[in-house]
Structure formats: C-alpha cells, structure tokens
Amino acid sequence: MSDVLRPVELTAEQAGDIPAIGQRPATVRFPPGHAAEDGRLVRSARDGDTEAFARLYERYGRVVHGLLLARVARDEVDDLVQDVFLTAWRRLSDLRDPAAFGGWIAMIARHRTTDFHRRDAEFVNLADDIESRGADASEQADARAALAAIRALPQAYRETLMLRLVEGMSGMEIAQRTGLTPASVRVNLHRGMKLLREKLHR
Amino acid sequence: MNDDTRHDYLWDGSGEPDAEVARLEALLAPYRHRRALPPLPAREAPPRRRAMAIGLQFAAAAASLALVTAAAWSAAALRPSGWNVESLAGAPSVAGSRLNSRSRLPVGALMTTDAGSRARLDVALIGVVDVEPNSRVRLIASRPGERRLALDRGGISARIWAPPGNFFVNTPSSTAIDLGCAYRLDVDDDGRGTVHVDSGWVAFEYNGHESFIPKGAICLTRPGFGPGTPWYEDAPAGIADALTILDFSSTDDVRRPRALETILAAARPRDALTLWHLLSRGTTAERARVYDRMAVLAPPPQGVTREAVINGNRAALDAWWNTLGLDSASWWRIWKTPWK
C-alpha cells in the first residue's frame, strides 16, 4: 500500500469513534495482496482495458451499492451505482495511487449521495418497495421496516450491516473491500446488530 | 470482545445460525446488488509523464467535453460550488453558521474551528483535509486542475491522491503545492508556517523562490522571506536552528557565518537535500562554501562546474539534483508549469 494510505495503528476502541466505510478513517488498511490486485486492475483499466474495469466492478459493486443503499432510496440506488462507476472510469487518471481504488470509489459514492440529501432531511419519501420477486405485502412491510431500522443506526453500523445483511458479504470481505480492519468490522457488526435488535423489538 | 471469529454467524454465516440475522438476510436479499456494469465509453490513454503539461491541458479539455455530454450523472460530483465538510469534533463554524454534522463549504466561504472543534473537508474527489482546532481556512477555488485553500492560521492535515499540482494552500508567506502526498501544515498568528511531510512531496513557492520538501522533511516559511530551506527531521542537532538564521536574516547579519559553518560541519550525505537548496541562496561566498562541502558529500556529475553552480546555472543545479536520488529535476520543472 502507498504511504499516502499508511494506516495509523489504532483499534476501534482507541480511536474512540467507530470508523465509517465511506470516510477515510485513521484505521484504513487495505490488505497488501488485495490492494496490489486493485492496483494492477486500475493500471490496466487506465490503458482502456474494460475487462479489468469489469473486475473492479465485481469487486466493489456490492460495496458501492451498500453504501448508497444506506443513504438513498432503493429506487435510486441501481442508477447511482452505475453513475459512480462511470465517474470512476472517466476519472481513473485522477487516482494517484492505483492501489487506493477502494477508498477512492467509496468517496465518489459518498459524493453522489450528497444531492439526495439536505441536512436534516435524510430518508424522507423513500421508495423501497421490492417489485415482484413474489414477496407478499407482509414481507414487503417487514423488509421496509428492517431497512428503515438499519438506516436509523449510526453511520458506521448502518454501512457495515448493509454490506453484511443486504449484500451478503462476510466480515472479512467487508474488511478487505473497505479498508477497515477486521476488528473494526467485527465491532461494527456486533454493536450495530445489538442496536438493530433493540429497534426492531421496541 | 472475543477475537475468535470461528462459528460466528454474524461474521461469516458459519456455526449455529442466528435466527434474527438469518431472517433479516432472507428478508433483505431482494435488495441486493444485481445490475451488470453498463457499456463503457472509450477512454483516452493516460498521458505520459514527460508530456504531462500538454497532457493535462488535453485531459482538461476532454474532461470538459465529457462533462457536457454526461452532465446528468457527473455535474453534481464535479460542481465547483464548494466542498463537503463534516464535523469531527465540537461545532466548527462554516460560512458563519455552526456545523453540527455535515454541510458544504462554498467557494469564497470561511470556516473556523475553536479550541474544541475539528472538521474534515472532502477535496472534490482528490483527497481529504482535516482542519485542526483554532484554525481559519477559506475555500479559494475548486475547479479541475486547481483546488485551493487559504490557511490564515491554525493547522491542516492533507492527504491528496490526485496527480501533483492540483491542490494548493495559500499561507500568509508562501503557497504550498501538493506533489502527491500527505502532510501537516501549521500557520501561527504571525503568519509563520511550518510543513511536515509524511509521504510524497510538497513544494513551497513565493515570488519565484521555491523549496521542495520530501517525506520525512520539514520546512519553514516566514512573511517577507518566503520558504526556507528544508531539512530532514533526523538531521544532526543544530542544523534546524542554523537554517532559521540563514533563511530569515539579511545577508549582513553577523550570525550567518557561524550558522553556515554549523550546517556544513554537521551535514551528512543525506543532507544534500538541504545543501542543494542552499546552493541557490545567500551570498556568492556562502554558495561557494556550500558547493565545496556538498562536492565532498555528494560529488557533482561530470560537466557540472563550480562556477556554473555558484552562478545559479539552472541546468547545472538540475543535473546535480538528478544524482541525489530525489527524483528527476525535469519532472519538477514539468509539474511547475501549471503553477505559474
């Protein structure tokens, strides 16, 4: 990993604040092997290799989707994911350290959500219905309630739980894709799940 | 918390299923990411470094065209109206209003932090800047090729991953130009600045007077004088104080000969960074003494003469720089073009 992204060795507890995925917390740490592969793919993509960029999409599509779903209506998310990756495709040359792709794409995703928010007005008028797929009205209502409860959690918990419960990623995958340490992810998952249970059973 | 992640269903789905987690997984699975990557438009091949000055202009033009044709999805992210800002501690003031969580710092607006507050700025897709307590910053410009802050007082920590020469910080006595790096910049109430570079390079520039500061080095800047001479944090004792005298005193100051002697006597080969900067400062006699010492510590390449160096011949200075293992001088010159 580059010096630019050199991590400061802090546990989540030491840091005092649980880091959020879309931010660039002091604990960002992309595993060297994973980051090296990202770097290789980014360099190929810069040369016009669409297959390499498709691999980056495979690696980070769920992360971007989860980060966006934590902030904006489901109806908007799919289009936004594509916007984020098209932005990244066009601006790959701006990325000085190819191995930092994960943090960079997360930052683009956060920027893209800005337009969907106004301060103090997040998640108003969301449209999160699951069209088709055989879900009955009761399941849809439960799903909407669960999604709303996750979104009401503090940012770090909501993002991590979105990736785990919605995107189906394991804790280790979340750590590898977001740059958070496994310990931070584990803290986010367990503390977030505890809060989520309280909200759902209130 | 137990570090053992084995058989932790919430961690990776292994072990005894947690009924609540499993129910949520099933309930929320329909929301999962499924859409394929859309067809990608053709992209330009990246410009080569040695043609970067031209390449940057071409890229800017291409980017502008792309922005027009793809405004629906990119205009928001690139709009020049300001940067996102969030509070890291306390309640910073943004454009005269208290910031409790997140907001936007418009171009031209002022942000201040008090003793108990900190804030983080997203530098329009190219990096982040943490504004430390007791600071006052203004957003001067945010457009492709120029993201510029003014740090009137206080401190910032910047991490920038854009190509060099895109991010600038005006201070009362110099402009700090990011050359792809992470650094800490402080300015006191008298406008005196200090930069500590954690990775990459930073350039200080004021009225054509410039300093290049690499990872692990420090450089001061003073109103009326501009940037001083960089030195490595592990430089021998006495060098920093002696440089302060040489950099920020008139050439007839009686302390200068002794200060120069201290530097030359203590310098190691690694301190050629410092001596190289001194080759183009001070009096002719001082530059001659610096040349003689540096020639011992890091001999000049063939063709670089004492006379040329002392007289400030740019080609000779660049050629010597190129032998110091500090990256190519021509690289710096190319990157300097957009600053002017």
Say yes or no: A73 contacts chain B, CB-CB below 8 A: no
Interface A-B, measured as beta-carbon pairs within 8 A, has a size of 173
CA–CA separation, A176 and A167 (whole Å): 15
The correct answer on CATH 1.10.357.10 for the domain covering A138-202 is no
From chain A, the residues in CB contact with B94 under 8 A are none
Say yes or no: B202 contacts chain A, CB-CB below 8 A: no
From chain A, the residues in CB contact with B200 under 8 A are 3-4
Determine the residue among B24, B126, B184 to mutate to test chain A binding: the one whose Cβ has the most chain A Cβ atoms within 10 Å: B24
From chain A, the residues in CB contact with B24 under 8 A are 146, 165, 196
State residue A29's pLDDT score: 53
Nearest to B131 by CA among B152, B154, B147: B154
CA–CA separation, A80 and A99 (whole Å): 23
Residue whose tokens read 């011992």 = B296
What CA–CA distances, in Å, run from B262 to B214, B239, B250, B256?
23, 7, 18, 10
State residue B56's pLDDT score: 36
Q: Are A129 and A140 spatial neighbours (Cβ–Cβ below 8 Å)?
A: yes
Architecture of domain B79-228: Sandwich (2.60)
CA–CA separation, A8 and A6 (whole Å): 7
From chain B, the residues in CB contact with A100 under 8 A are 161
Helix (H), strand (E) at residue B170: strand B167-170
Q: What's A29-121's CATH class?
A: mainly alpha
pTM (predicted TM-score): 0.51
Given B24, B84, B126, which is nearest A114 (Cβ)?
Answer: B84
State residue B116's pLDDT score: 92
Domain boundaries, chain B: 79-228, 236-340
Say yes or no: B32 contacts chain A, CB-CB below 8 A: yes
Low-confidence ranges of chain B (pLDDT < 70): 1-6, 38-39, 41-81, 180, 327-340
Say yes or no: B19 contacts chain A, CB-CB below 8 A: no
Nearest to B181 by CA among B229, B216, B233: B216
Which of residues 256 through 285 in chain B touch A, CB cutoff 8 A?
none
Which of residues 95 through 134 in chain B touch A, CB cutoff 8 A?
101-104, 120, 122, 125-126, 128
CB-based burial label for A31 (10 Å; 0-12, 13-18, 19+): middle
Closest-CA distance, A4 to chain B, in angstroms, reads 6
* Beta-carbon separation of A166 and B77 below 8 A: no
Which amino acid would we find at residue B327?
D
> What percent of the residues of chain A are helix, what percent strand, and what percent coil, each to the nearest 5?
65, 0, 35
Give the chain B residue whose CA is nearest to the CA of A103: B127
CA–CA separation, B143 and B60 (whole Å): 10
Closest-CA distance, A191 to chain B, in angstroms, reads 10
* Beta-carbon separation of A164 and B10 below 8 A: yes
Closest-CA distance, A124 to chain B, in angstroms, reads 17
What tens digit of pLDDT does each residue of A88-111 get?
988 898 888 888 899 899 988 888
What tens digit of pLDDT does each residue of B40-82 get?
766 654 433 333 333 333 334 334 333 333 333 333 343 446 8
Torsion of CA B290, B294, B295, B299, to 10 degrees: -150
Domain boundaries, chain A: 29-121, 138-202
For chain B, the first-to-last Cα distance in angstroms comes to 55
pLDDT-derived band of residue A78, with 50, 70 and 90 as boundaries? Answer: confident
Q: Which residues contact A59 (CB under 8 A, 6 or more apart)?
A: A38, A41, A177
From chain A, the residues in CB contact with B42 under 8 A are 48
Ramachandran region of residue A23, left (φ > 0), alpha (ψ -120 to 50) or beta?
A: beta
What tens digit of pLDDT does each residue of B211-229 get?
999 989 999 999 888 999 9
Give the chain B residue whose CA is nearest to the CA of A63: B33
Residue A151 CA, distance from chain mean position: 13
Q: Are B107 and B134 spatial neighbours (Cβ–Cβ below 8 Å)?
A: no
Determine the residue among A4, A49, A50 to mutate to test chain B binding: the one whose Cβ has the most chain B Cβ atoms within 10 Å: A4
Q: How many other C-beta atoms are found inside a 10 Å radius of the C-beta of residue B196?
A: 18
CA–CA separation, B304 and B54 (whole Å): 30
* Beta-carbon separation of A186 and B1 below 8 A: yes
SS3 B291: helix
Q: How many other C-beta atoms are found inside a 10 Å radius of the C-beta of residue A178?
A: 30
State residue B60's pLDDT score: 40
Say yes or no: A131 contacts chain B, CB-CB below 8 A: no
The tokens describing B338, both together, are 């957009």
Q: Are B295 and B304 spatial neighbours (Cβ–Cβ below 8 Å)?
A: no
Show the DSSP H helices in chain B as ranges.
Answer: 9-12, 19-28, 52-69, 71-78, 239-247, 256-266, 272-278, 284-297, 306-310, 314-321, 329-336
Given B59, B74, B103, which is nearest A93 (Cβ)?
Answer: B59
Nearest to A6 by CA among A115, A114, A109, A103: A103
From chain A, the residues in CB contact with B3 under 8 A are 183, 186
State residue A133's pLDDT score: 45
Say yes or no: B245 contacts chain A, CB-CB below 8 A: no
Closest-CA distance, A9 to chain B, in angstroms, reads 15
Which of residues 111 through 130 in chain A touch B, CB cutoff 8 A?
111-112, 114-115, 119, 128, 130
CA–CA separation, B78 and A115 (whole Å): 12
Can you tell me the mean pLDDT for A179-185? 87
From chain A, the residues in CB contact with B102 under 8 A are 119
Which of residues 161 through 180 in chain B touch A, CB cutoff 8 A?
161-163, 180
Q: Which residues of B290-311 are buried (b: 16+ CB within 10 A; e: fewer)?
A: bbebbeeebebeeebeeebbbe
Q: What DSSP state is assigned to residue A22?
A: T
* Beta-carbon separation of B30 and A182 below 8 A: no
Say yes or no: A7 contacts chain B, CB-CB below 8 A: no
What tens digit of pLDDT does each residue of A133-177 get?
455 778 888 898 999 999 999 988 999 999 999 999 999 999 888
